[in-house]
Structure 1
Amino acid sequence: MKALIILLLILFIIYGCSETAKESDPSGTYVTHFKNEYSLTDDTLIIRNINSSNQAYNIERKSGFQKIRNGVLKSKEFKSAKWDATYNEDSKVLQQTDLGNQVYITDHNGVKLGDSEYKKIK
């Protein structure tokens, strides 16, 4: 009986550690949508872990936007960018290696890039 209790305790500890690791990993797909007087934009960030031992990530940003000129919505345009970043788990920030962009991990299942807040969809 003691052996069974100890085994269950070990399994709970292992499960708890694996769940904590999953929660601290910012990998996923995040989206945002915004509109102002000049454009209508849908933005997606795809964050992938490329090396867990040194917290290296690849970030892909895909944007689709429509310009608004004189009240007329123009045809949709697309652009994309990719960059590498290092994740600092203490400050919950993905720091771009080359240009210094920062992606902040928020407490409510999202990220923030500049003034734009993204929600995680998967």
Structure 2
Amino acid sequence: MKTLKVQLMIMITLCVAGCESAKEKSIAGIYTTAFKQEFSVVNDTLIIQDFNRQSKSYQVERRTGFRRIDHGNVGPMEYKRTRWMATFNTDGFILQETAFGRQIYFKPDFKSLSFGATYQKVQ
């Protein structure tokens, strides 16, 4: 009876471990970056949400806040928001949008990405 309990515990442990390794890491989340250029100060946020997990489709929303710099004077905050749909390529860790050719490159740990600048995952 005792060996049966031990075998059952081992089987349950293996099942749980197998299920956890089969889980796909999600790229969905909020990624941010901030930088200063000669003519502007920029805060940029990418919000990536699952749209259809089976077809690996995602909705991407980019929210940008920036201040123009004109002759050393920093202007008021301006905002820009764009949305698009993209498909995730699991081979190269690339989120691709075809209409404008946008490509977002993910690091293998999915904690950061590259889209012109390096973004860090905050949520």
Q: Does 1:92 align with 2:93?
A: yes
Q: Distance in 1 between matches of 2:32 and 2:85?
A: 19
Q: Distance in 2 between matches of 1:77 and 1:54?
A: 35
Q: What's 1:43 paired with?
A: 44
Query: Which letter maps to 2:9?
Result: L
Q: CA deviation at 1:3?
A: 2.1
TM-score of the superposition, structure 1-length normalised?
0.91
Q: What's 1:111 paired with?
A: 113
Query: Which letter maps to 1:3?
Result: L
Q: CA deviation at 1:27?
A: 0.6
Aligned residue pairs total: 117
| DSSP 3-state at the match of 2:101 | coil
Structure 2's unaligned 5+ residue stretches are 1-5
* Percent pairwise identity: 32
> What RMSD over aligned residues (CA atoms) do the two structures have, in Å?
1.1
Aligned pair partner of 1:16 in 13, 21, 27: 21
CA deviations over 1:101-120 (Å, ceiling 9, x no partner):
10000246111112x11010
Structure 1's unaligned 5+ residue stretches are none
| DSSP 3-state at the match of 2:86 | strand
